[in-house]
Chain A
Amino acid sequence: MLLTLAWKNIWRNKKRSLIILTAIALGLWAGLFSVAISIGVWEATINSTIDRNLSHIQIHTKEFKDEKLISNYIPDGNTIADDIRKDKRIKEVSGRVLIEGMASSPTSSSGVNIIGINPENEKEVTSISSYIEEGKFFETEKRNPALIGKKLADKLGLKLGSKIVLTFQNIDTTLNYAAFRITGIFKTESTNFDQSHLFVKNTDLYKTMESEPIISEIAIRLNSSDDLNFVYSKLQLDYSSLKVETWKQLAPELEFTYEMLILELEIFLGIILAALLFGITNTMLMSVMDRIREFGVLMAVGMKRVRVFFLILIETFVLSIFGGIVGMLLGGITIWYLSDKGIDLSIFAEGLNAYGMPTQMYPVLPLYFYFVLILMIIITAIIAAIYPSIKTIKLMPAKAIRTY
């Protein structure tokens, strides 16, 4: 009965209720949407990191992580890579040789991560071939071709066709000097990556090192990231003597950034709800003040004080929850619609690329965020209702009835 009465009371002053309902709905809609965009941008950044270099899963020897030496190569690496490739869930596997060395040009030198790859496989695993800005991705007849990051090329004063000398350790720990020629310059969204990486053909490395075809890293790209956990557990069982890691373990800073982002967003939603809380309290307080006489009459004809108290409590509650539901529905629908279609930000392409962000953006909101929000709205509603309801408790019927 009180619920019906509360509902009807809310609509007695349409203008007032609509204003606060709009504020709640609009606030939640905008809040949800901007949270979804933030998370969407973060996911896009992760995806581009996976595409660029990380891939979904990587396998190394257990020692490699700490020592990063060429002698930490994976025993029978190529056989393992071929075996893994047979799995239907896997798109492609790239066996890489990783060496830390020095790159020297006539004018300068710098530490560099040398990555020896099989261009055909690598092309399918990461998108590095699409980041080539000048020159080509190993489609060349030249001897010892090398791909170099734009930033590193600038630092060393290198151009397309320049010669570069790489110094690194052989497996037998003697130092090796090898001359390579720049046949391509790549530029990714990450300057850090660009200034420290250099790609060469694995076969060229084997020749200069006079070594067997060894690999120190197996990078795996899945057809769908949904299979990540399954494939990961399977590989971990199959190759227990090796270290199998997903991108999450490979780049823990991404996880940290995500956690920080979520904390920031929760604080933001909290602040929005706090702002709404004051709006709701004000509206209800105003409504109570306007109706003092009415409450006086209600009490005089026998309505219990507690019931009046609950009436206001329920009114506030219904108002907040109703606005909350509308806002969440609006937000949910917008996000659902755009998460499929994406938001085209190509008019801002220049600015976004400078920040290492893609131009197509898909807002995403994890399901648990909705639950967190519902909880927050309920808490807000309760707090907002307290003060106006208490006001009614203190009313004296005889006095209230004479108030205009």
Chain B
Amino acid sequence: MKTYLLLAWRNLWRNKRRTLIAAASVFFAVLLALLMRSMQEGSYDYMIEASVSMYTGYIQIHRDEYWEKRSIDKSMEVGDKIVKEIEAIENVTLVTPRLESFSLISFGNTTKVASIIGIEPGQENRMTKLKNKLIKGKYLTPDSKGILLSEGLAELLKVDIGDSIVLYGQGYHGVTAADRIPIEGIVKFTLPELNKSMAYLSMNYSQWLYSAPERITTLSVMINHIDNLQEVYEKVDDLFDDKYEVMTWSEMMPELVQGIEIDNAGGIIMLGILYVIIGFGIFGTVMMMTAERTKEFGILISIGLKKGKLAFISFLESIFLAFIGVAAGVLVSIPVLYYFHQNPIELTGQMADMALSYGLDPILPFRFAPNIFVDQFLTVFVIGLVSVSYPLFFIRKLKPVEAMRK
């Protein structure tokens, strides 16, 4: 066995040029496939990250049926103890409660529907960076009895800091919730839908206003990285019985999941096309190299080497060759992808403006994670192995007498 390995290895380096050309075609295959995949998965990670930190968080906990009904009647009382327990779970970075509802907001002769969110100002800011979005006035404090309006909503109502709006809505168990509330600040969201519909109250005040003392509708959980989601989800789910629903971002934003799945399906088809081209490239190279060695094979067989053994040696050569190419590809890709992961490609011009207006940074991000390396390593290795196994068939059909005369 050792002899065969040695023989195969030496054969490989007997003609360096040939080996390097073949290994290079595998190498570039890995590099290109990795670039393509990393860019695609990177953009998904980025979209998810941007969407969850805009509002929902990675995981939310509600009373059972709340998500379907969105009624304040489906709110819940959650003790400090359980919040502490969630915060203690590894990889959880933040837990923030909310009391959400829809109400009418009026000023003068204008009335608008808004989503009214009761928040713990400090935690909310850590999660959604709400304070950074403040363009006028003050941010909420835990005791404030004022309201934060989104910029678009304030424009529609033609109000400014210091004015007082009238809020009118349905509280817990059908009690009317109505009050005159001074505007404390104005926040600007990049996303037009949010900018026209959001209004924030402090948690204490909103619980009083909606006659829902100690009650919240939502506990929103942030984690440090999406790869830890499943693990955290299971631990959180264990803490709650079936009177509650624990949902991940993918259940809360099915449109985003669908968008990603469609795009990903397209990406995989394109990757398939790339593999076919790569396969052809490698196959062509290997075929040439085998043809060059016809005479050599002919001589070896006629002096007594069994075809099976020759095929085995050339199979070992193939494995070495594919492995060298794939390994080199992965090794070189690591710094390249890492660089792009740290310094994403920036979009320019109109595209950049448009991305910004949707609250996204104008960049093409790359993913840097073990899974894409492993996936592409294995796939290209298999493609490479299939292509470089051509000599096996070639040897089986070889007629030594004819081959020697070439």
Question: In the bound complex, what is the Cα–Cα distance between A103 and B14 (angstroms)?
Answer: 81
Q: Contact between A102 and B110 (Cβ–Cβ < 8 Å)?
A: no
> Which of B81-89, B126-134, B231-239, B271-279 is the interface stretch?
B271-279
Q: List the A side residues contacting B311 at CB < 8 Å.
A: none
CB of B74 to closest CB in A, whole Å:
8
CB of B296 to closest CB in A, whole Å:
12
Q: Which of B17, B104, B266, B358 contacts A34 (CB 8 A)?
A: B266
Q: Say whether B211 faces chain A, with CB atoms less than 8 Å apart.
A: no
> Which of A17-25, A369-377, A394-402 is the interface stretch?
A17-25
Question: In the bound complex, what is the Cα–Cα distance between A107 and B72 (angstroms)?
Answer: 9
Q: Contact between B354 and A282 (Cβ–Cβ < 8 Å)?
A: no
CB of A363 to closest CB in B, whole Å:
13
CB of A32 to closest CB in B, whole Å:
10
What 0/1 pattern do residues 64 to 76 of B give for CB contact below 8 A with A?
0000111101000
Interface SS of A by simple majority: helix
Q: Say whether A67 faces chain B, with CB atoms less than 8 Å apart.
A: yes
Q: Which of A30, A100, A357 contacts B112 (CB 8 A)?
A: A100
Q: Which of B71, B255, B269, B288 contacts A108 (CB 8 A)?
A: B71
What 0/1 pattern do residues 61 to 74 of A give for CB contact below 8 A with B?
00000111100000
* Known contacts A19-B280, A107-B69; A272 and B273 CB within 8 A of each other: yes
Q: Which of B29, B197, B280 contacts A26 (CB 8 A)?
A: B280
CB nearest neighbor in A for B261 = A355
Q: Say whether B115 faces chain A, with CB atoms less than 8 Å apart.
A: yes
Count residues of B near A (Cβ-Cβ below 8 Å). 58
Q: List the A side residues contacting B277 at CB < 8 Å.
A: 23, 26-27, 272, 275-276, 279
Q: Say whether A256 faces chain B, with CB atoms less than 8 Å apart.
A: yes
Q: Contact between B21 and A282 (Cβ–Cβ < 8 Å)?
A: yes
Question: In the bound complex, what is the Cα–Cα distance between A354 and B110 (angstroms)?
Answer: 39
Q: List the A side residues contacting B112 at CB < 8 Å.
A: 100
Q: List the B side residues contacting A345 at CB < 8 Å.
A: none
* Known contacts A68-B156, A278-B24, A354-B258; A100 and B273 CB within 8 A of each other: no
Question: In the bound complex, what is the Cα–Cα distance between A252 and B291 (angstroms)?
Answer: 58
Q: Which of B269-322 contact A (CB under 8 A)?
A: 269-270, 273-274, 276-278, 280-281, 283-285, 287-289, 291-292
CB of B238 to closest CB in A, whole Å:
29
Q: List the B side residues contacting A34 at CB < 8 Å.
A: 266, 269-270, 273
Q: Say whether B181 faces chain A, with CB atoms less than 8 Å apart.
A: no
Q: List the A side residues contacting B358 at CB < 8 Å.
A: 253, 256
* Known contacts A290-B292, A354-B258; A282 and B350 CB within 8 A of each other: no
Q: Say whether B1 faces chain A, with CB atoms less than 8 Å apart.
A: no
What 0/1 pattern do residues 213 to 255 of A give for CB contact below 8 A with B?
0000000000000000000000000000000000000001101
Q: Say whether A267 faces chain B, with CB atoms less than 8 Å apart.
A: yes
Q: Say whether A192 faces chain B, with CB atoms less than 8 Å apart.
A: yes
CB of B104 to closest CB in A, whole Å:
6
Q: List the A side residues contacting B50 at CB < 8 Å.
A: none
Q: List the A side residues contacting B32 at CB < 8 Å.
A: 271, 274-275
Question: In the bound complex, what is the Cα–Cα distance between A154 and B65 (angstroms)?
Answer: 11
CB nearest neighbor in B for A252 = B354
Q: Say whether A118 faces chain B, with CB atoms less than 8 Å apart.
A: no
Q: Contact between B111 and A278 (Cβ–Cβ < 8 Å)?
A: no
Interface SS of B by simple majority: helix
CB of B259 to closest CB in A, whole Å:
8
CB nearest neighbor in B for A17 = B284
CB of B276 to closest CB in A, whole Å:
6
* Known contacts A102-B113, A286-B21, A355-B261; A279 and B273 CB within 8 A of each other: no
CB of A24 to closest CB in B, whole Å:
8
Question: In the bound complex, what is the Cα–Cα distance between A336 and B350 (angstroms)?
Answer: 31
Q: Which of A109-129 contact B (CB under 8 A)?
A: 109-112
Q: Which of A279, A356, A357 contacts B280 (CB 8 A)?
A: A279
Q: Say whether B109 faces chain A, with CB atoms less than 8 Å apart.
A: yes
Q: Say whether A260 faces chain B, with CB atoms less than 8 Å apart.
A: yes
Q: Contact between A155 and B156 (Cβ–Cβ < 8 Å)?
A: no
Q: Which of B53-108 contact A (CB under 8 A)?
A: 68-71, 73, 102, 104
Q: Say whether B351 faces chain A, with CB atoms less than 8 Å apart.
A: yes
Q: Contact between A66 and B156 (Cβ–Cβ < 8 Å)?
A: yes
What 0/1 pattern do residues 1 to 45 of B give for CB contact below 8 A with A?
000000000000000010001101100110010011001000000
* Known contacts A286-B285, A290-B292; A271 and B255 CB within 8 A of each other: no
CB nearest neighbor in A for B353 = A256
Q: List the A side residues contacting B179 at CB < 8 Å.
A: none
Q: Say whether A167 faces chain B, with CB atoms less than 8 Å apart.
A: yes
Q: List the B side residues contacting A191 at CB < 8 Å.
A: 254-255
Q: List the A side residues contacting B70 at CB < 8 Å.
A: 108, 110, 155
CB of A5 to closest CB in B, whole Å:
21
Q: Contact between B25 and A155 (Cβ–Cβ < 8 Å)?
A: no
CB nearest neighbor in B for A151 = B68
CB nearest neighbor in A for B279 = A23
What 0/1 pattern do residues 111 to 143 of B give for CB contact below 8 A with A?
111110000000000000000000000000000
* Known contacts A16-B288, A268-B36, A282-B21; A276 and B111 CB within 8 A of each other: no
* Known contacts A263-B351, A275-B278, A355-B258; A155 and B285 CB within 8 A of each other: no
Q: Say whether B251 faces chain A, with CB atoms less than 8 Å apart.
A: no
CB nearest neighbor in B for A267 = B39
Q: Which of A38, A282, A289 contacts B284 (CB 8 A)?
A: A282
Q: List the A side residues contacting B274 at CB < 8 Å.
A: 271-272, 275
CB nearest neighbor in A for B157 = A67
Q: Say whether B155 faces chain A, with CB atoms less than 8 Å apart.
A: yes
Question: In the bound complex, what is the Cα–Cα distance between A355 and B68 (angstroms)?
Answer: 20
Q: Contact between B281 and A279 (Cβ–Cβ < 8 Å)?
A: yes
Q: List the B side residues contacting A255 at CB < 8 Å.
A: 354
Q: Which of B68, B115, B285, B289 contacts A111 (CB 8 A)?
A: B115
With most chain A CB atoms within 10 A of its CB, the pick from B110, B156, B255, B285 is: B285
Q: List the B side residues contacting A100 at CB < 8 Å.
A: 112-113
Interface residues of A (CB under 8 A from B): 15-16, 19-20, 22-23, 26-27, 30-31, 34, 38, 66-69, 100-102, 104, 107-112, 154-157, 167, 169, 173, 175, 191-192, 252-253, 255-256, 259-260, 263, 267-268, 271-272, 274-276, 278-279, 282-283, 285-286, 289-290, 354-357
Listed from nearest, the 3 A-B pairs whose CB atoms lie closest are A279-B281, A23-B280, A173-B109
Further contacts, 11 of them, CB under 8 A, given A107-B73, A286-B21, A290-B292 = A20-B280, A20-B281, A104-B170, A109-B169, A111-B197, A173-B109, A275-B32, A275-B281, A278-B28, A279-B285, A286-B285
